[in-house]
Homo-oligomer: A and B are copies of this chain.
Amino acid sequence: MPVLHPAVEFYFDFSSPYTYIASEWIEALAARHGRTVDWKAILLGVTFQAAELRSPVSHPIKREYSLHDFDRSARFAGVPFTLPDPFPIATQNAARLFWWLKDERSASAAPWARHCLRAYFTRNVNLADVDALKRLAAEFGIDPDEAEAVWTAPAWKARLRQACDEAIARGVFGAPFFVVDGEPFWGNDRRAQIERWLASGPF
Contacts and interface: CB of A to CB of B under 8 A. Distances in A.
Interface of A: 47, 50-54, 59-62, 64-65, 68-69, 72-73, 75-76, 168, 171-174, 184, 186-187, 189-190, 192-193, 196, 203
Nearest to A168: B61
A172 B12 CA distance: 28
B65 A60 contact: no
The number of times this chain is found in the oligomer is 2
A172 B62 CA distance: 8
Contacts of A51: 59-62
Contact of A68 (B184, B192, B196): B184
B189 A65 contact: no
Contacts of A174: 62
A15 to B, nearest CB: 19
A64 to B, nearest CB: 6
B186 A189 contact: no
Contacts of A190: 189
Given A69-B186, A72-B203, A59 B193 contact: no
A65 B171 contact: yes
A116 to B, nearest CB: 26
A203 B76 contact: yes
B61 A173 contact: yes
Given A61-B168, A61-B173, A189-B189, 16 more contacts: A47-B61, A51-B61, A51-B62, A52-B54, A52-B59, A52-B60, A53-B59, A62-B174, A64-B171, A65-B171, A65-B173, A72-B203, A76-B192, A76-B196, A187-B189, A189-B190
A175 to B, nearest CB: 13
7 contacts: A53-B62, A61-B168, A61-B171, A61-B173, A62-B174, A65-B184, A65-B186
